[in-house]
Amino acid sequence: MSSEVVIFGGGATGTATFRDLAMRGFSVALIEKRTIASGTTSASHQNLVGGLRYVIKDPVVAQECAEENRIISVIAPDVVGDLQNYFVGFSSEYTESALHAAKRLNIQANEVDINDVLSEIPSLNRDLDLAVETTDKNINAQRFCWLNCLSAKRNGGELFEGTEVHRITKTAEGFTIVTNHRVLQTKYIINATGPWINDLASKLNTTIPVTYSQGTIIVQKALSPRGIQHLRYPSDADAYIVHDGHGWLGTTSTTINTPDEAKPEPWADTYLKDEFSHILPRVKQQHTLRTFTGIRVLPITRRRRGEASFENGRQKSRDFKVVEEPDSVFHIIGGKLTTARLMAEKISDSICSKALRSTRCRTAREPLTPD
């Protein structure tokens, strides 16, 4: 079979790109080794970020998140939660700077009376000085991915789950892809496999320099009706995101050599509870119901061939990058779940430019619904 574009990776970015290209009129196939949204997308906080967290560290990312939060809330309201997160903290030079930056960047950060918040969430530390309501909300990441796939299939896209790549060969017309089920011909390849980026890149005799940073989240019975985040410079254990009566507390940031090394750190449970107890003291006594780990794959500027990178993942930008290597193969690195649609738009623009097509993106305005 033949498709103009073959996408590898069925997470948020891969499925959003699947939708975007199909809506632009490309013949496109999506290949997922397991099932849709079974990787990093599901192993995240599943928080639709509003931008306040990054106003000092990463203002470009903050603005991207704020705009994508608005777009996803409009086009896919049934995958987005109703309750907005509070950012709470202690008055400091940082909190003052962050609130000024949010105003300058036009990012919602509405200060609310801390006493009202303490009445709503009695478990909070009574010594907290300030509370801010943001547009951060839950997102059902799995449903978001499936709606992207349904939209793509309605526009002619083909989806193949449970499909592993055996080899990829360059041809005069493009590429021949041999999988465990079928052989595909394509002109363009998109690598949206996240942490497994170099598993696919190696089949094309290349390596993409990246840092692998794992983040552990613990789950307990919720002590708050809505998500709470610590208003401070981004660090570990800043977010307590509430899903269906359960508080998801995280994350850590531990650099690892390969995705295969990812597993919850033995110290993570105690560490995360200790850190967040400054905001919600009772987390230390609350029983942990489960623990899971996701992997951030972050671009690095340079690295010797074969040398592992141990850059501090917490200090790296959460912006994304598109790399074309080799010709007509596009790898997408970094980004946030919140910016998946934007990442898809940019990589689809790259395909259009390569294919000399001028079709514009429609995903920011057309509803993402099951009908």
More confident residue, 120 or 369: 120
254 in a structural domain: yes
Q: Are residues 161 and 237 both part of a single domain?
A: no
| CATH, residue 228 | 3.30.9.10
The radius of gyration computed from the CA coordinates of the chain, to the nearest angstrom, equals 21
196 in a structural domain: yes
What dihedral angle (degrees, nearest 10) is formed by the CA atoms of 176, 178, 184, 185? 0
Q: Which pLDDT tens digit goes with each residue over 60-113?
A: 999 999 999 999 999 999 999 999 999 999 999 999 999 999 999 999 999 999
Q: Are residues 118 and 226 both part of a single domain?
A: yes
Q: How far is CA 159 from CA 116, 155, 180, 200, in A?
A: 49, 12, 15, 18
**pLDDT tier for residue 319 given thresholds of 50, 70 and 90:** confident
Q: How far is CA 226 from CA 23, 94, 247, 285, in A?
A: 36, 24, 9, 19
Q: Which domain-ending residue is among 245, 271, 299? A: 299
Instruction: Please report, rounded to a whole number, the percentage of residues in the chain having pLDDT higher than 70.
Output: 95
Q: Are residues 185 and 144 both part of a single domain?
A: yes
58 in a structural domain: no
Average pLDDT for the chain: 93
Q: Are residues 176 and 305 both part of a single domain?
A: yes
- The reported pLDDT for the residue numbered 307 is 41
Q: Are residues 169 and 273 both part of a single domain?
A: no
- The reported pLDDT for the residue numbered 371 is 78
Q: Which domain-ending residue is among 282, 299, 316? A: 299
Q: Which pLDDT tens digit goes with each residue over 1-31?
A: 899 999 999 999 999 999 999 999 999 999 9
Q: Which pLDDT tens digit goes with each residue over 191-201?
A: 999 999 999 99
Q: Are residues 350 and 253 both part of a single domain?
A: no
240 in a structural domain: yes
Q: Which domain-ending residue is among 250, 268, 299? A: 299
Query: 176 forms bridges with which residues in the sheet?
Result: 169, 185
Q: For the chain, how many structural domains are there in total?
A: 2
Q: How far is CA 73 from CA 180, 248, 255, 343, in A?
A: 38, 22, 33, 17
Q: Are residues 275 and 337 both part of a single domain?
A: no
Which residues form the domain of 110?
Answer: 83-136+210-299
- The reported pLDDT for the residue numbered 299 is 83
- The reported pLDDT for the residue numbered 303 is 43
7 in a structural domain: yes
Q: Are residues 293 and 227 both part of a single domain?
A: yes
Q: Are residues 154 and 294 both part of a single domain?
A: no
For the entire predicted model, the pTM comes to 0.93
The burial of 62, by beta-carbon neighbours within 10 Å (0-12 exposed, 13-18 middle, 19 or more buried), is given as buried
51 in a structural domain: no
Q: Are residues 198 and 305 both part of a single domain?
A: yes
Q: Are residues 117 and 215 both part of a single domain?
A: yes
Q: Are residues 90 and 198 both part of a single domain?
A: no
Which residues, including other chains, have CB under 8 Å from residue 369's CB and lie 6 or more apart? 76, 78, 147
55 in a structural domain: no
d(CA 281, CA 116): 18
